[in-house]
């Protein structure tokens, strides 16, 4: 499952069926539905990756950390530190 849109076209924001979210370019496993949670952002939100090497992280000057597929480098969005469903967890 993979798709991201800012203008109300996000098909996976409210999708909570069991499964694994993968990179749209290469199929690499990124997130499990068990780490998905409801959030006010317009995109799906996850508290952790499915594998340690699921994503690569690239700090940006303005705050959040850019997140890319750990296999092919496809841009996925950002990691927001301490914005997860519980204290100390991130939001992807």
Indicate the pTM of the whole model.
0.78
> How many domains, in total, are found in the chain?
1
> Which domain range does residue 81 map to?
1-92
pLDDT of the residue at 10:
61
Say if residue 54 is exposed, middle or buried (CB neighbours under 10 Å; 0-12, 13-18, 19+): buried
pLDDT per residue rounded down to tens, the chain (92 residues): 444 444 555 666 666 688 898 998 999 999 999 988 877 777 788 889 999 999 999 988 887 899 999 999 999 988 888 777 888 788 78
Q: What is the CATH number of the domain that holds 75?
A: 2.170.150.20
Buried b (16+ CB within 10 A) or exposed e, 55-88: beeeeeeeeebebbbbbeebebbbbbeeebeeee
């Amino acid at each position: 499952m993979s798709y991201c849109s800012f203008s109300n076209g996000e098909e996976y924001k409210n999708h909570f069926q069991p499964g694994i979210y993968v990179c749209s370019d290469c199929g690499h496993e990124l997130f499990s539905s068990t780490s998905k949670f409801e959030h006010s952002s317009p995109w799906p939100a996850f508290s952790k990756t499915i594998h340690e090497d699921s994503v690569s992280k690239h700090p940006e000057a303005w705050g959040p950390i850019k997140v890319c597929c750990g296999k092919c480098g496809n841009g996925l969005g950002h990691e927001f530190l301490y914005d997860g469903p519980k204290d100390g967890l991130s939001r992807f």
